[in-house]
Amino acid sequence: MAPALAALWRSVTPADIDTTLPDLWRDAARDSPVSRALMSNLVIVRHGARPPDDEVVHLEAESNIVRIAERHPARIIVLNYSPDAGRACAPRQATIGVLTFGAGAVRYGVEVIAVDEVCAEASVPSIVRRLTRGDVPTTVWWTADLSRARPPDPMVETGRQFLYDSTGWAEVRLGAARATAILALPHAPDLADLNWQRLAPLRSAIVHGLRNELGAGAPVQNGVMIRHRAGEPAAGWLLGAWLRRALRWTSFPSIEASSNDDEVVTVTLAGERWEMTARMNSQRVLVAGTGEPPPFSIPVPRQTVADEVISELRSLGRDMHLRETMLTLAT
Amino acid sequence: MTVDLDTLASELAAGEAQPVATEPVTLVIFGGAGDLAHRKLLPALYNLHVDGLLPPRMAVVGVGRKDIGDDQYREFARDGIQRFSRRSLDEERWDSFASSLFFVNSAIDQPGVFASLGSRLDIIEHERGLAGNRIYYLAVPPALFVPTVQQLSHARFVAPADARPFSRLIVEKPVGRDLASARAISDAIAAVFDEHQIYRIDHYLGKETVQNILVLRFGNSFFEPLFNKKYIDHVQITVAEQEGIGTRAGYYEQSGALRDMIQNHMLQLLALVAMEPPRSLDADVVRDEKLEVIQSLRPLEGEAVDMATVRAQYAAGFDLGAPVPGYKDEPGVSRSSRTETFVAMQVFIDNWRWAGVPFFLRTGKRLPKRASEISIHLKEVPPILFNRDPHRRLDPNVLTIRIQPDEGFALGISSKVPGPRVRIYPVNMDFRYGSTFGGSSPEAYERLLLDVMAGDATLFMRRDSVEGSWHWITPILDRWAEQTTDPLPTYGAGDWGPPEADRLMESAGRSWRQL
């Protein structure tokens, strides 16, 4: 872990970003050498957000950005995107920064670029294409609810990976439909869902339980019940689609909200003569059957959002299970 | 034993840092008050002066239609240096540089004007102790190349080849619009200047990274063995311009991207990447090898042009979020214009080394950013071990030579991500001129002007190379000229070209690299 963080910031017009960044690097290297670290581009889209009054204060307070920059050095581009079909405008201002970490021979720096209000959908791709570096992978992180707001296709297509979080989706099926529409684009990126990643311990526990210990044949029709925490229906629906696809059912299992806020999601599978329940909370997944053997549990990793994002950034490649789950959910 | 003066000078000079070009010279810039002189030539000369690389005795004489005197010309130069030089202006250095600047008001296409020009040059050379070595720089529209050269001849301004004092000629591109016109211009120039006196400038060849291509290939043992059909899957060369045509509609309407970029810059880059190792670094030896590549290009004629090329014109779009007009809405452009502002093409070099390896060229205006690079894509590793998962294919290794901006090169390799699982991530081994050598690299024109003064033609195009390029390009132009009714594809300003360019790549089983 790098011990120190230093940051240099400058406010510029968008046209001066490229010419001013080298000045910042020179300033950053004035007292001791600094290596420019660049593993990827991370485009963070703040949809519907007006730019903060003081972007520098906001960016420094945004611990996710700093943590990501430190552990997966990416050129971080923050777009404050407020689409307004009624007016086309170019961004007037940008904030650029160099964050440096470490010391001595391992001192390294990362670029951050925050572009103020981008209001015309059509103008977004030209900004993203200009600011991203082509020789490293690009991830577009859509921080808004995908079921409420759709990202412009050309912006999505600039990325190799489209990152989102389905946890708070207001309309799960609509969100899934939009995610799968992205997969149909001519230059479709890979999907990465932070919620899907969080559910990985539960999926893994269910597979283990069925395969090794607690299951005795496939669940019967209507033998699957999923309860999700109130306000987080996507967790239930993702697991429902995952199971439906695997069981080749033509309909979804029973999915309902639970009044038990301790458990994120609970999945009960029942066969002819067996039943297995997997309960996931923020600490562990507990799996218990109706008889022998005794319950088992597996831990849920304690991760920040930054940890989860870094994990996705480093996992380039097509997640076929997520892809097919989304397709199932969207149908 | 007495020592003669030359020997004494040589003895004393040994071990001393000397300017590369030492012979006194007068640089006569036709078009001396034009845009090229303002933005490029005068700032380049100033930087050479600051670096102590110019000959100790020198004069720069601008020639043009502007009704200005020496003092105003010096102000013009000062403004250009302040706005466009890589260095800020230093008053002390400026004073000594400014004293070598002169201007002669002369309409070069009018008969008799060279007599007064000659008188002025004689006076300047006499006053500054110059021996009569002259370099004539044609920074004028191509239509004035031949009249200017003929005037030089009639006024007896041109010394024979190998004579002292010497006469040299610098010609800016474009030389011609097609093979026939290029030959006509070259014939007219050759009637006055010997080939060894002619320096055809392609400023791309003066860029540090371009010069470094030969060092990279032939100064390292681990690149050159890979540069062949056995290891290389394909090569992409992209010259992307963010700007539109600005005020250059008059020129661009007659030119287009194929003539403006591919015929010269990009074919020269292609030649440097693909050429065989020259037996020496002598100018003609290097240029012979480049010519071999140009002559080995598989001809594109008739329907083959349609299959292997895409041309397009930019429509209205966005530049970093700001709306910008389409090509046909630019001032001075015809509404019915069919001039291409974008070209993509697939090219093959039919020689032993490169047989079957596609080279993809792409250039255009109003693309998302200004960026020029050559990327050499190696073949994939076999689909076993770390590359066996069809959904997590490893990125093939790519050697990228960045010409501008951020000059340098990068080698893309696969590396394990730290942790208990085997996860592979593409990473770059990156070399940047700016951070490695510090400071700012010399501008291309600095190197090229210095080379002309020193008589080194390595980085300049020879007549046979120019005509070889036109020989290959002209059938493409002819095919396009036949297609007067087919709709020309368009792309929005700020896009990476039209969908047809993507389809060209997809049909070859590849995709354009993002810049």
Domains of chain A by residue range: 5-136, 198-299
Q: What pLDDT is attached to residue A184?
A: 94
Query: Is the domain of B486 the same as that of B422?
Result: yes
Strand order in the sheet with A275-280: A254-258, A224-229, A265-270, A275-280, A284-289, A296-299
pLDDT greater than 60 at residue B15: no
Q: What is the pLDDT of residues A157-199, one digit of tens each?
A: 989 999 999 998 999 999 999 999 999 999 899 999 999 999 9
Q: Residue A215 has what pLDDT?
A: 62
ipTM above 0.90, yes or no: no
In this prediction, residue A309 has a pLDDT band, given cuts at 50, 70 and 90, of: very high
Q: Measuring CA to CA, which residue among A14, A92, A9, A81 is closest to residue A48?
A: A81
Q: Do B320 and A127 touch (CB under 8 A)?
A: yes
Q: Is A56 on the interface with B (CB under 8 A)?
A: no
- Report d(CA B441, CA B458) in Å as an integer: 20
Kindly list the residues of chain B whose beta carbon comes within 8 Å of any beta carbon in chain A.
Answer: 242, 317-323, 368-369, 371, 389, 391-393, 398, 400, 405, 410, 412, 417, 423, 425-428, 430, 432, 434-435, 493-496, 499, 502, 513-515
Cβ pairs A/B, distance under 8 A:
93
For chain B, how many structural domains are there in total?
A: 2
Calpha distance B165→B130 (Å, rounded): 10
Q: What percent of chain A has pLDDT above 90?
A: 52
What mean pLDDT comes out for the span B367-376?
Answer: 94
Residue of chain A whose alpha carbon sits nearest to that of B499: A186
Asked if B471 and B292 count as a contact pair (C-beta separation under 8 A), the reply is no
Question: Across the interface, do B242 and A136 touch by the CB < 8 Å criterion?
Answer: no
B423–A315 C-beta distance less than 8 A: yes
Confidence of residue B240 (pLDDT cuts 50, 70, 90): very high
Is the domain of B158 the same as that of B224?
no
Q: Write out the two tokens for B439.
A: 């400071």
Write down the pLDDT at residue B203.
86
Q: How far apart are CA B113 and CA B118, in angstroms?
A: 9
CB contact under 8 A, A126 and B317: yes
Yes or no, beta carbons of A126 and B435 under 8 Å apart: no
Taking the alpha carbons of B57, B62, B68, B72 in that order, is the dihedral positive or negative? negative
pLDDT digits (tens, 9 = 90+) for B67-107: 899 999 999 999 999 999 988 888 888 998 999 999 998 88
A4 touches B: beta carbon within 8 Å:
no
What 8-state DSSP symbol labels residue B423? -
How close A268 comes to chain B (CA, Å)?
Answer: 31
Distance CA B236, CA B270 (A): 9
- For the question of residue B265 being annotated catalytic, the response is yes
What radius of gyration do chain B's Cα atoms show? 25
Catalytic member of B49, B234, B265, B377? B265
Q: What is the pLDDT of residue B321?
A: 85
Nearest CA in chain A to B409: A135
Minimal Cβ distance to A126: which of B321, B412, B513: B321
Amino acid in position B373: E
Please give the full DSSP string across B45-114, using - where no structure is assigned. Answer: HHHHHHTT-S-SSEEEEEEESS---HHHHHHHHHHHHHHH-SS---HHHHHHHHTTEEEEE--TTSTTHH
A185 has a chain B CB within 8 A of its CB? no
* Residues B154 and B230 occupy one common structural domain: no
B127: helix, coil or strand? helix
Answer whether B321 sits within 8 Å of A120, measured CB to CB. yes
- In this prediction, residue B2 carries a pLDDT of 63
Full residue range of the structural domain in which residue B485 is found: 206-507
A52 and B CB contact within 8 Å: no
CB contact under 8 A, B392 and A123: no
Same domain, B124 and B218: no
Whether A127 shows a pLDDT value over 60: the answer reads yes
Q: Which two tokens stand for residue B51?
A: 């670096």
What digits encode the pLDDT tens for the residues B123-149?
998 998 888 899 999 998 888 899 999
Residue B187 pLDDT > 80, yes or no? yes
- Rounded percentage of chain A residues whose pLDDT exceeds 70: 94
Same domain, B475 and B391: yes
Which of B172, B198, B220 is the last residue before a domain boundary? B172
Q: What local confidence, expressed as pLDDT, does residue A2 receive?
A: 45
- Kindly report the pTM of this predicted structure: 0.87
**If you average pLDDT over every residue of chain B, what do you get?**
90
What CATH number corresponds to the domain at position B392? Answer: 3.30.360.10
Q: Which residue in chain B is spatially nearest to A310 when comparing CA positions?
A: B417
Please name which of B272, B144, B180, B149 lies closest in space to residue B217, comparing C-alpha atoms. B272
Chain A contact set for B427 (CB, 8 A):
39
Pick from A269-278, A289-298, B15-24, B225-234 the range whose average pLDDT is largest: B225-234
- Residue A14 is given by DSSP the state G
Percent of chain B with pLDDT over 70: 95
Tokens representing A103 are 């010391």
Q: Tokens 């800016």 appear where?
A: B172
Which of B368, B391, B514 is opposite residue A126, by nearest beta carbon? B368
**Which residues, in sequence order, are CB contacts of A271 under 8 Å at separation 6+?**
A215, A216, A217, A218, A219, A220, A223
- pLDDT of B19 > 50? The answer is no
Which residues of A, range 73-92, sit inside 8 Å of B by Cβ?
88-91
Query: How many angstroms separate the CA atoms of A299 and A239, rounded?
Result: 18
A129 to chain B: closest CA residue: B368
**What is the tens place of the pLDDT at every residue in A233-264?**
999 999 999 999 988 888 899 999 988 778 89
Per-residue pLDDT, B14: 59
Q: Say whether pLDDT at B9 is over 70.
A: no
Please name which of B199, B112, B118, B100 lies closest in space to residue B157, comparing C-alpha atoms: B118
In the predicted model, what is the mean pLDDT of residues A139-152? 93
Collect all residues with Cβ–Cβ distance below 8 Å to B77 and sequence separation of at least 6. B38, B42, B46, B98, B101
- A311 touches B: beta carbon within 8 Å: no
Residues B206-232 have pLDDT tens digits of 888 888 899 999 999 989 999 999 999
Q: How far, in whole angstroms, is CA A238 from its chain's centroid?
A: 15
* Same domain, yes or no: B140 and B239: no
Q: For a pLDDT cut of 90, what percent of chain B falls above it?
A: 60
Question: Which among B112, B147, B172 is the end of a domain?
Answer: B172
d(C-alpha B125, C-alpha B121), whole Å: 6
Residue type, B67: D
Q: What ranges make up the beta strands (E) of B151-240?
A: 167-172, 198-201, 232-240
Same domain for B149 and B59:
yes
Amino acid occupying residue A75: R
Closest to A318 in 3D by CA, of B393, B113, B201, B166: B393
Separation of alpha carbons A141 and A189, rounded Å: 12
Strand pairing report for B25-30 and B58-64: parallel
On whether residue B184 sits in a domain, the answer given is no
